[in-house]
Amino acid sequence: MEFEKKVLSREIQQYLYESGLTVGSAESCTGGRIAESIIAVPGASTYFKGGIISYTNEIKERLLAVDHQLLEEKTAVCEDVAKAMVSGALDALDVDFAIASTGTAGPGGGTAEIPVGTIWLACGNRENIVTMKLTDDFGRDINLAIATTKALQMFINFLKEHAPKAKQEGKAPIIPLNE
């Protein structure tokens, strides 16, 4: 895993490890990369409860309760679906926070309205969900790497407003060595 994602994972840990707060993911185009990044540090099992890879609309509907009509009218690659995925993950995984991704990473699958490289990211809790839209196409691998990094950064910014940070209280999280 690249160094930057490990640093971001460590920062997420500093907010959640001793807080009792939990996070989960609902990923489409990133296919588990967000979850993989979060669990890159020892002790992640204390705050990361799981993830749902909802690569198809069927799974978005069945496991995340994304409205069928929404998917039909706006497609899976839109802000409303990203928000619905966060809400669905909060409920399905029974977590305090969730992170979601949905998009067209490429090389194919894009349209004139939703070109390759269009990726919607969302994160939040039951009170507030924030989103970010990526639009540049750098090729599939880079698109997914950028989306994963941006999702982690967006979540850290969300946590800055909505969760206590252990190191701000003058203590670093205790990391078990056996995980």
Residue 114 lies in a domain: yes
Residue 171 lies in a domain: no
- Domains in the chain, number: 1
pLDDT in tens, the chain (179 residues): 588 888 999 999 999 998 999 999 999 999 999 999 999 999 999 999 999 999 999 999 999 999 999 999 999 999 999 999 999 999 999 999 999 999 999 999 989 999 999 999 999 999 999 999 999 999 999 999 999 999 999 999 999 998 866 544 444 444 444 44
**133 conformational bin, left if phi > 0, alpha if psi -120 to 50, beta if neither:** beta
Q: Is residue 107 part of a domain?
A: yes
Is there a domain that residue 178 lies in? no
Q: Does an H or E element contain 91, and which?
A: helix 79-93
Residue 115 lies in a domain: yes
Instruction: State residue 166's pLDDT score.
Output: 52
User: Which CATH number characterizes residue 127's domain?
Assistant: 3.90.950.20
Beta-ladder partners of 27? 53, 101
**Residues forming a β-bridge with 130:** 123
Q: Tell me whether residue 39 is in a domain.
A: yes
Q: Is residue 151 part of a domain?
A: yes
Domain that includes residue 113, residue range: 3-166
Strands (E), the chain: 23-27, 48-53, 97-103, 119-124, 129-134
Give the pLDDT confidence score for residue 169 in this predicted structure.
Answer: 47
The pTM of the full predicted model, rounded to 2 decimals, is 0.91
pLDDT given for residue 18 in this prediction: 87
Give the model's pLDDT for residue 178: 41
Residue 91 lies in a domain: yes
Find out whether 133 and 119 touch, Cβ atoms under 8 Å.
yes
pLDDT at residue 86, as a whole number = 98
